[in-house]
């Protein structure tokens, strides 16, 4: 008596494969969303560490760290310096001891005629050291960026100068962007200027790009630490200054502004033929906060609290959160 073995027919096999494909297609977005949630959580943790480091720095030195330092202050105009005017590091350089990076910090010579970011530590330039806590895992273009044969470790966080307008010009080949002056005019309807804006200590935000004359203190944050944002996310592909690297005093620390809306797209390629506003070399728009997270970007406030601000945040509210002393009550979204 013969026996017959049961098996899938070709049609049944194709149906099973189709069902499996449909299930994978349904699950893939959920998996991607879970991965992004994990990356965003790590990014928020980085910001939390930066918030704690800012306060530990203040406890140690009586002020928050500089946005950037040069040996003799303003790095361009005066012709009276006794020699070169080397960079003394960015905010992120001066936070190194409070980010479990004391060995790297201790190896830097802050009195050298060589700029901090170009000095060698263990045979590697300071700017080439990747600091994991300075990198958001959602930014797939992080790590080392080769600029003219000089690889630089990229960062994703900068200190803010608050609501400060930018001109319409930028670095080559960017020459003009009408959006910069438009936003500069808008922010002036939202927040007041401080009494004497020509003085360094009259900046609206918590950080100043050239901090030789002034670094903010807790007493300067008159709106309250919990109502004033200090640092937020940036992207290397969207700003030539971020591309300079985390260690340079000219790396956008104390230059990033709330006047440009969150996630304004300045990530276009220089040779793409698009307008200057959407290119990373345009200073009027590239100095805004932006991230790879859908719908907004992460920020750490003066009290160390981390908030994800939506890119749809009301414009004037965003300026008031960036201003350290406008005296207007706000509710953080």
Q: Between 315-322 and 179-187, two packed helices, what is the crossing angle to 10 degrees?
A: 70
Number of residues assigned to the chain = 333
Are the C-beta atoms of residues 230 and 191 closer than 8 Å to each other?
Answer: no
User: Does pLDDT of 229 surpass 70?
Assistant: yes
How high is the pLDDT of residue 237?
A: 87
Strand partners, 301: 229
Strands 144-147 and 150-153: antiparallel
Residue 28's contacts (CB-CB under 8 Å, 6 or more residues apart) are none
Structural tokens at position 42 = 């790590």
CA distance 58 to 217: 8
Share of the chain above pLDDT 70, in %: 86
Of 59-68, 137-146, 286-295, the poorest mean pLDDT is in: 137-146
Rounded-to-integer distance, Cα 120 and Cα 136, Å: 25
Q: Provide the pLDDT for residue 290.
A: 95
| For range 241-264, the mean pLDDT | 93
DSSP 142-184: -SEEEETTEEEE---EEEEEES----S--STT----THHHHHH
Choose among 324, 165, 193, 333: nearest CA to 259: 165
Strands of 203-314, DSSP E: 229-233, 256-257, 296-301, 306-310
Map tokens 């992460």 to a residue: 298
Average pLDDT over residues 204-233: 93
- Per-residue confidence band for 274, with pLDDT thresholds at 50, 70 and 90: low
Query: Which residue in the block uniquely carries the two structure tokens 């943790």?
Result: 45
CA 27 to chain centre: 33
State pLDDT tens for residues 4-23.
Answer: 556 667 776 777 787 777 77
Identify any residues that bridge with 299 across adjacent strands, giving them in sequence order. 232, 307
pLDDT of residue 6: 64
pLDDT over 60 at 270, yes or no: no
Give mean pLDDT, residues 228-254. 93
pLDDT tens, position by position, 117-144: 999 999 999 999 999 999 999 887 767 8
What span, in angstroms and rounded, lies between the C-alpha atoms of 218 and 230?
12
The side-by-side arrangement of strands in the sheet containing 229-233 is 256-257, 157-162, 229-233, 296-301, 306-310
pTM: 0.86
pLDDT at 220 > cutoff 90:
yes
Instruction: State residue 175's pLDDT score.
Output: 72
Burial (CB count within 10 angstroms: exposed 0-12, middle 13-18, buried 19+), residue 199:
exposed
The mean of the pLDDT values for the chain is: 86
Give me the pLDDT at residue 34, please: 65
CB-based contact 240:266 (threshold 8 Å) = no
Q: Tens digit of pLDDT for each residue in 154-190?
A: 899 999 999 988 777 777 777 778 888 888 888 888 9
Give the residue, 59 or 240, on which the prediction is more confident.
59
- pLDDT exceeds 90 at position 246: yes
CA distance 230 to 115: 26
Quote the pLDDT of residue 157.
97
pLDDT category of residue 103 using cuts at 50, 70 and 90: very high
**Greater confidence, 32 or 95?**
95
Please list, in sequence order, all residues whose beta carbon lies within 8 angstroms of the beta carbon of residue 304, skipping any fewer than 6 positions away: 48, 51, 52, 54, 55
């Amino acid at each position: 008596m013969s026996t017959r073995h049961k098996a899938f027919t070709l049609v049944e096999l194709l149906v099973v494969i189709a069902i499996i494909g449909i299930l994978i297609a349904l699950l893939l977005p959920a998996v991607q969303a879970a991965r992004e949630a994990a990356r965003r959580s790590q990014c928020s943790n980085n910001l939390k560490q930066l918030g704690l480091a800012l306060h530990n720095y203040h406890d140690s030195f009586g002020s928050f760290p500089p946005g950037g330092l040069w040996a003799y202050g303003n790095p361009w105009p005066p012709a009276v310096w006794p020699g070169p005017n080397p960079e003394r590091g960015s905010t992120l350089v001066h936070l190194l001891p409070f980010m479990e990076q004391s060995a790297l910090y201790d190896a830097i010579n802050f009195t050298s005629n060589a700029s901090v970011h170009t000095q060698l530590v263990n045979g590697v330039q300071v700017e080439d050291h990747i600091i994991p806590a300075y990198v958001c895992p959602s930014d797939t273009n992080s790590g080392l960026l080769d600029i003219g044969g000089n690889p630089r470790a990229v960062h994703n966080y900068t200190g803010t100068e608050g609501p400060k307008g930018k001109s319409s010009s930028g670095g080559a080949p960017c020459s003009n962007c009408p959006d910069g002056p438009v936003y500069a005019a808008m922010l002036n309807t939202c927040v007041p200027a401080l009494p004497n804006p020509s003085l360094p200590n009259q900046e609206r935000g918590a950080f100043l790009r050239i901090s030789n004359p002034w670094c903010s203190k807790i007493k300067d944050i008159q709106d309250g630490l919990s109502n004033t944002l200090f640092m937020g996310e940036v992207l290397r592909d969207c700003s030539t200054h971020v591309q300079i690297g985390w260690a340079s005093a000219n790396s956008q620390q104390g230059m990033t502004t709330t006047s440009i809306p969150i996630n304004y797209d300045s990530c276009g390629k220089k040779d793409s033929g698009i307008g200057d506003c959407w290119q990373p070399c345009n200073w009027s728009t590239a100095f805004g906060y932006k991230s790879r997270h859908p719908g907004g970007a992460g920020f750490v406030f003066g009290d160390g609290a981390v908030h994800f601000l939506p890119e749809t945040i009301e414009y004037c509210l965003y300026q008031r959160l960036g201003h350290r002393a406008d005296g207007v009550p706000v509710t953080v979204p």
